[in-house]
Structure 1
Amino acid sequence: DDDMRWRGEATRAARMNNPEMHTIYLPVSQWVFGAIGKTLSPAGDPARAERRFRLAFVLFEMIGIGLVLLALTRAGRSPWWATLYAWHPLALIEIAGSGHQDAIGLPLLVAGLLLASAKPERCRRWVWAIAAAALIKPFVVPAAAFVLRRSPPAAWGRALVIGIVVTGALGAPLLLSAGGAPVENLRATSERFALKWAHFGSVYEPLLTAIEWRTPAWGNDPQEQLARGICLLAFLIAGIIIWIRSRDAWRGMSALLLAMILLSPTAHPWYLLWALILLPMTRSRAVWVASLTLPWGYVVLADPVDWTVPAGVMVAAYVPIYAALLLDVGPGRPGRGDPSRTIAA
C-alpha cells in the first residue's frame, strides 16, 4: 500500500484484469487524462474521480453531437437525424456509463470530415483534427485518404507533412520520455493484443474453429495467427474496395469502420461508436442494426470462467447485420446524394 498513490488504489488494482500489462492509451488521450487529473486531489475520493472523468468524456461527446448538428444543417437535413446517435442507448451506456475514452476522438473525427467537406485541398483546415484523432485510435488515419480521394498528389503531400508535424508535436514529448520506455511498453502490449485478444468476431471465430478442426494441435498459436492473418488480408482488400467505390468521405469512413469491426478478432460494442456518430450523415442500415445487436456479445459476462459467447447468439447478432449490409451496397440504398458536396454548396 505504501506505493499506492491514492486511497483505495490497492483494492482496485487487485481486481484489475492483466495488471502486469501496460495500458496502450495514446498521447492525445494521455494529455486529456493528465488535464482532468490536474483538477483532482491525489488524496481525493476515487468515486468522485471516476465521475469527473466520465463527465469530461460526456462533454467531448456533446461537442461531437454539436458538430454533427452543424454538418446536418449545412447539408440541409433535419437536425433530428442527430438523435440516431445522441439518444442511442449504446452511446449513453458506453460513454456516460462505462466511461470509454473513445469519446475524446469522436468530435475530432467529425470536425475533420466537416472541415474538409468544402475544400479538401486546404489541408491546414482539417488534417490537424484527423491527426489528433489518430493519436487516440490510429484506425482514424484512413479518413484522410477518403477526403483526398479526388485530390491531386500535391494535396496528399501537404496532408502528409501536416499530419507528421501534428502527430510529432503531440506524441513525441510523451512517447520519447523515459528513454523511450513508453514506445516499448506500447509495443509489448499491442503485440499481446494482436496475438491473443479475441471477442465476438463475426469472421474470426468461425474461421478459427474451422482451422482448428482441420489442423488440430495441442497449442493453437499457429491457428490463431493464420486466422488473424486471413482476417487482416480480408480487411485490407475490403478497405481498398471501399476507397475505390466510396462516393464521399463520410460514407467511406463509416463503411471502413464497420468492416474493421466485422473482420476484427475483437468486436467490442464501443468500437462501433466511431461509425455510429457518423450515422446521421450516412444513414447506414448496417451500422444501425449493428448498434442494436453487437451489444449482445455482453452475454460473455454470464460465463466468467471460459468467457465464451454461445454460437446461437453470434448468429442472431450478425445475420441481421450482414443482411442490412447487403441492402446498403445494393440498389435503392438511402441517401444517394453526396453529403460533402451538399455541405460545400
Structure 2
Amino acid sequence: MSATTASATPRSDAPQASPAGSLRARTSQLWRSSRAQLAQAWAWPLVPQGFIAMLLIAAGSISPAFLPADAPLLAALPWFNSALARLLSTAVVLVGLVTLFEAWLRLRPRAGRRTAPTATWAIWSAPLLFAPPIFSRDAYSYAAQGLVVSRGMDPYQTGPIAVPGPFADQVDPLWLFTPAPYGPLALQLQRIVVELSGGHALVAAIAMRVPALVAMGVIAWALPRLATRMGVSRDHAVWLGVISPLTLLHLVGGAHNDAVMIALVVAGLLLASDGRWVVASVAVAAGAGFKQTAVLALVGVAGLAYRHAAGGPGEGPLRSAVDQRAYLRIASKVGLLAFLAFTALTVVTGLGWGWIANLSVPGSVLSFLSPVTMAGAALSWALGALGVPQEWAAMALPAVQGCGAVAAVLALGWITWVLGPRRPVAASAAAFMAFTLGGPTVYPWYVLWGAVLLGATLTDRRIVQCLVWATGWMLAYAALDVAVVNGLWILALAGIGWGVLRIGRARLDRVDEPLMGGSANDRQWSPAANTGNAPTGSDSRN
C-alpha cells in the first residue's frame, strides 16, 4: 500500500463516539440551546407581563367554570365552590385576559421594532401545564372517548355514556350521548393518553394537553420557516400565529385536537414548499385523521407543488399566468395520494369510517359566534316580532345557514382554481376561513385553522386589523362565558368595559402601519427584515 493510500485510510484504532454518548451530547446541546432561547425570550419587554397574565388565568381555572361539578378537587376543597371563590376566580381570569391581550398587542412588530422571540409561546404556556382544560370542556369528552376505544367499543356508534363513572361524569351533558365526530388518529391518541393516565379521569383530561404542547412546538418551529419561504417576515408569523392569545389559550389551554391538525398542516405546507409534495400530502392526510377539515389545506399543497415544479417563488401576484392543466394534474395527484394515505391510516387504526355519519354533531348546537347563525337567528326573531307565523319565522335560520353553505362552496371553488396556484398558503388560509365563517357552528379554535396560516403569507393590513378585533371579541366572549357559569355576568360586563377602555385609550388595537417597514399607505405587510429596539445578543428565534 502506498503512503498516499495509507494516509487517506481512516485509522481503525481512532476513538469512536458511542451511540449513547452521541445521544447525551445532542441532548445536552438541545438543553443548552433551549435554555438560551427561553432566557432571551424572558428578557424581552412584555414577555413577563404575559407570563403573569397566564398565571392569573391558571389560578382562576380552579373554579366550577372549568372543573366538572363533581371534581375531586372541589369535593376536597369546598371553599372553591363558594360565592367568594367564584368572585375571585372570575376576577383574576378577567384581569389575566385583559393583561395578556394588552401584552400581545404591544408586541406587534412595527417599523424598527421586532416582536418577541419564538420561545415566548413556551413561557406563556408554562402556567397552564397542570391547570384544568380552560374555555372548553372538550378535553373531558376526549378522555371519555379514549376510554370507549380502550374498552373495545366503537366510538362512532356510542357516546361517553357507554363508560359510566368518573369519565362520563365530567363530560358536558350536551355531548354525553353523542358519538365521536373526530378522525380515527385522534381517537387512538386519546386511547393512549387515557391508558397512560392510570385510569384517573381528571388526569387523563389534563394529559390531553401533552399532544397539544408537542403540536405547538411543531407550529412554532415550522410556521416562521414557512413564512420565510413565502417572502414574509418571521415576526409576522410569530406574532400572528404562534404567540396569539387565541392560539395559546385554546390550543394549549383547551387541549384541542385542532392543535395537532394545524401542526401537521403547517408541516405539510413547509414540505410542499421544498417540492416534497408526496410527504406533504401524507402529512395533511394525517392531519385529517385528527380533524377532517385538514383536507382543505390540500389546495395549498397542490399550489406549492405546482409552483415548485414551474420554478417560481413560493407565492406570486394574483394576476400571474398559470398553466391550469399542469396545476390540475398535480392537484389530482395530491388529492389521490392524500385519499390513499388517509385510507391506509384508517385501516391501521381499525376504527373505520363511522365518523362520516357523525359530522353533523358539532352543528347540533346554536352557535352565536357563527355569522350566518347570528344573522339567521336575528332574522327569525325579527319576523316573529313583526307578527309572521312562528312556523314561517323559524324557517329563516336554516335558510340563512343554507345560503352561508352555498357561499362557502362558491368561495372554495374560486380559492381552489384562482388563488391556489398563485398564492398557495393564502389559499389554504382562505379555504379554512371560508369553511368556518360560512358554517353553522363556529368556536374560537375553528378560527385558528386559517388564522395561524395567515402568519405565513403576505396579508392585507385590513385583514390583520379584523383579526385583532376578532381576537378581542373572542376573548370577551370567553370572559363572559366564565362569568355566566359562575353567576357573575355583571362582573364580566364591567371587566370587558375596563378592558375596552384600557386598550382603546392607548389605541393598541389599531393596525395603522405595515408590519415591517414601508409607508403608511402600503396596504400589505412588507416582507423586509426588521431590526432595532430589541435586546442585544444572538437571536435564537427558532
TM-score by length of 1: 0.74
Give the alignment partner of residue 298 of structure 2, picking from 144, 150, 158: 144
Say whether residues 1:20 and 2:20 are aligned partners: no
Q: Structure 1 161/234 Cα, relative in aligned 2: closer, same or farther at 3 Å?
A: closer
Say whether residues 1:93 and 2:93 are aligned partners: no
Q: Structure 1 239/105 Cα, relative in aligned 2: closer, same or farther at 3 Å?
A: same
**1:195/1:224 contact within 8 Å kept:** no
Say whether residues 1:200 and 2:375 are aligned partners: no
**1:112/1:126 contact within 8 Å kept:** yes
Deviation at 1:334, TM superposition (A): 1.4
Mapped to 1, the partners of 2:372 and 2:426 lie a distance apart of: 22
1:221-240 superposed matches below 5 A: 222-240=395-413
Match of 1:217 in 2: 390
Q: Structure 1 249/289 Cα, relative in aligned 2: closer, same or farther at 3 Å?
A: farther
Give the alignment partner of residue 110 of structure 1, picking from 259, 266, 273: 266
Deviation at 1:195, TM superposition (A): 5.5
Q: Structure 1 268/258 Cα, relative in aligned 2: closer, same or farther at 3 Å?
A: same
Unmatched segments (≥5 aa) in structure 2: 1-160, 304-321, 488-492, 501-509, 515-520, 528-542
Q: Structure 1 302/166 Cα, relative in aligned 2: closer, same or farther at 3 Å?
A: same
**1:7/1:46 contact within 8 Å kept:** no
Which 10-residue stretch deviates more, 89-98 or 283-292? 283-292
SS across alignment from 2:293: helix
Q: Structure 1 208/241 Cα, relative in aligned 2: closer, same or farther at 3 Å?
A: farther
Mapped to 1, the partners of 2:427 and 2:288 lie a distance apart of: 17
Give the alignment partner of residue 126 of structure 1, picking from 271, 280, 283: 280
Mapped to 2, the partners of 1:272 and 1:29 lie a distance apart of: 20
Say whether residues 1:84 and 2:243 are aligned partners: no
Deviation at 1:102, TM superposition (A): 0.6
Mapped to 2, the partners of 1:115 and 1:56 lie a distance apart of: 21
**1:110/1:278 contact within 8 Å kept:** yes
Match of 2:442 in 1: 267
Q: Structure 1 71/235 Cα, relative in aligned 2: closer, same or farther at 3 Å?
A: same
Q: Structure 1 10/34 Cα, relative in aligned 2: closer, same or farther at 3 Å?
A: closer
**2:367/2:440 contact within 8 Å kept:** yes
Name the Cα RMSD after superposition: 3.5
Deviation at 1:106, TM superposition (A): 1.3
Mapped to 2, the partners of 1:219 and 1:41 lie a distance apart of: 53
Unmatched segments (≥5 aa) in structure 1: 317-322, 338-345
One-letter amino acid of the structure 1 residue matched with residue 372 of structure 2: V
**2:370/2:441 contact within 8 Å kept:** yes
SS across alignment from 2:175: coil
Q: Structure 1 226/258 Cα, relative in aligned 2: closer, same or farther at 3 Å?
A: same
Mapped to 2, the partners of 1:132 and 1:195 lie a distance apart of: 26
Deviation at 1:211, TM superposition (A): 4.6
**1:201/1:262 contact within 8 Å kept:** yes
Match of 1:297 in 2: 477
Match of 1:280 in 2: 455
Mapped to 2, the partners of 1:94 and 1:105 lie a distance apart of: 13
Mapped to 1, the partners of 2:259 and 2:209 lie a distance apart of: 10
Mapped to 1, the partners of 2:356 and 2:482 lie a distance apart of: 27
Say whether residues 1:62 and 2:252 are aligned partners: no
**2:282/2:338 contact within 8 Å kept:** yes
| CA displacement, residues 275-313 of structure 1 (integer Å, 9 cap, x when unaligned) | 2322321245133442332333333555569xxxx9xx9
Deviation at 1:76, TM superposition (A): 6.0
**2:216/2:263 contact within 8 Å kept:** yes
Deviation at 1:109, TM superposition (A): 0.7
One-letter amino acid of the structure 1 residue matched with residue 473 of structure 2: T
Q: Structure 1 84/39 Cα, relative in aligned 2: closer, same or farther at 3 Å?
A: same
One-letter amino acid of the structure 2 residue matched with residue 235 of structure 1: A
How many residue pairs get matched? Answer: 306
Match of 1:37 in 2: 194
**2:372/2:401 contact within 8 Å kept:** no
- Tell me which protein shows more helix as a share of its residues: 1
Deviation at 1:232, TM superposition (A): 0.3
* Percent of aligned pairs sharing the same letter: 20
**1:108/1:129 contact within 8 Å kept:** yes
**1:198/1:265 contact within 8 Å kept:** yes
Which 10-residue stretch deviates more, 293-302 or 278-287? 293-302
One-letter amino acid of the structure 2 residue matched with residue 89 of structure 1: P
**2:250/2:256 contact within 8 Å kept:** yes
Give the alignment partner of residue 423 of structure 2, picking from 240, 248, 251: 248
SS across alignment from 1:20: coil
One-letter amino acid of the structure 2 residue matched with residue 334 of structure 1: Q
Deviation at 1:144, TM superposition (A): 1.8
Deviation at 1:38, TM superposition (A): 3.8
Deviation at 1:220, TM superposition (A): 6.4
| CA displacement, residues 253-275 of structure 1 (integer Å, 9 cap, x when unaligned) | 22232233332222211112222
Say whether residues 1:8 and 2:163 are aligned partners: no
Deviation at 1:242, TM superposition (A): 3.5
SS across alignment from 2:406: helix
SS across alignment from 1:17: helix
| CA displacement, residues 177-217 of structure 1 (integer Å, 9 cap, x when unaligned) | 5xxxx61x651x43354465423222331234325544542
Q: Structure 1 53/303 Cα, relative in aligned 2: closer, same or farther at 3 Å?
A: closer
One-letter amino acid of the structure 1 residue matched with residue 471 of structure 2: S
Deviation at 1:112, TM superposition (A): 1.4
Q: Structure 1 223/112 Cα, relative in aligned 2: closer, same or farther at 3 Å?
A: same
TM-score by length of 2: 0.49
**1:205/1:265 contact within 8 Å kept:** no
Match of 2:207 in 1: 52
